[in-house]
């Protein structure tokens, strides 16, 4: 079951399995897999989990566990520039591209070929949102909670007291009556409104073809063929 409000003008994807097709879409559209115990659901927005209480952070059997273990990867772990190739609906479905980049860091570019029909602004928003998700996803965290949080599932989103941002559960386990969560920071849900220029398409002129004129000519010998026999030449030309 899928809940993905992103609309595409058209798309062509193929794969050996449903997972391969979904993987192609999830590479650009933020699809999160969430298993509610009955159905595997694909959502662009992670379902909200229960509110965590600050006093519950750092639960352990023996005591003394840290409230939260927070890690942040280097900016160089993600590309400096992302480019999306797509089919531009404003240019008669010719291939177009949109790029976004982040400041600083090592220059490393990643290009994605997406067999979808998009308007330039939509393509720019999709690739910019992916870069935003990559930047936010550099931050990860691990927390431990009391056993009453055992109902938490991977794919849910959480607000962690004392830590900025929204976090998604990547892994959840119950060990020794202690719930252990591995979290990844999520990007802001704010929509990105970015200007985009698709360039100018190459369009052939669509002109009405005029009538064809045919003329028969009786000319003197032109130096080819038999000079002893009469010759008639046909000449045709269009008027459009």
Give percent above pLDDT 70 in the chain. Answer: 74
Q: How far apart are CA 192 and CA 1, in angstroms?
A: 26
Residue 136, pLDDT > 60, answer yes
CA distances from 10 to 1, 7, 192 (A): 20, 9, 21
- The mean pLDDT of 205-225, rounded to a whole number, is 79
Residue 181, pLDDT > 90, answer yes
Q: Which of 46, 26, 24 is nearest to 35 (CA)?
A: 46
pLDDT in tens, 107-133: 788 888 888 888 888 888 888 888 888
pLDDT in tens, 163-175: 888 888 989 999 8
Q: How far apart are CA 127 and CA 83, in angstroms?
A: 7
pTM: 0.64
pLDDT in tens, 78-99: 888 889 898 888 888 888 889 8
End-to-end CA distance of the chain: 57
| Tokens, residue 19 | 């997972």
């Amino acid at each position: 079951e899928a809940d993905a409000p992103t609309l595409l003008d058209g798309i062509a994807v193929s794969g050996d399995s449903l997972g391969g097709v979904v993987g192609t879409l999830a590479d650009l559209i933020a699809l999160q897999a969430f298993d509610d115990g009955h159905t595997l659901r694909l959502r662009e927005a992670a379902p909200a989990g229960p509110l965590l209480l600050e006093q519950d952070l750092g639960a352990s059997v023996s005591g003394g566990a840290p409230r939260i273990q927070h890690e942040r990867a280097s900016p160089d772990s993600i590309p400096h520039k992302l480019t999306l190739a797509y089919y531009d609906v404003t240019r008669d479905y010719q291939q177009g591209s949109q790029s976004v980049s982040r400041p600083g860091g090592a220059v490393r570019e990643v290009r994605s070929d997406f067999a979808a029909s998009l308007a330039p602004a939509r393509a720019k928003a999709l690739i910019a949102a992916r870069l935003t998700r990559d930047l936010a996803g550099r931050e990860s965290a691990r927390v431990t909670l009391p056993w009453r949080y055992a109902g938490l599932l991977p794919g849910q989103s959480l607000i962690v007291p004392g830590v900025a941002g929204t976090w998604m559960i990547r892994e959840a386990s119950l060990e020794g009556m202690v719930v252990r969560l591995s979290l990844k920071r999520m990007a802001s849900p704010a929509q990105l409104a970015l200007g985009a220029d698709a360039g100018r398409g190459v369009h052939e002129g669509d002109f009405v073809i005029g009538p064809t004129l045919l003329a028969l000519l009786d000319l003197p010998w032109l130096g080819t063929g038999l000079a002893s026999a009469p010759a008639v030449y046909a000449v045709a030309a269009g008027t459009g």
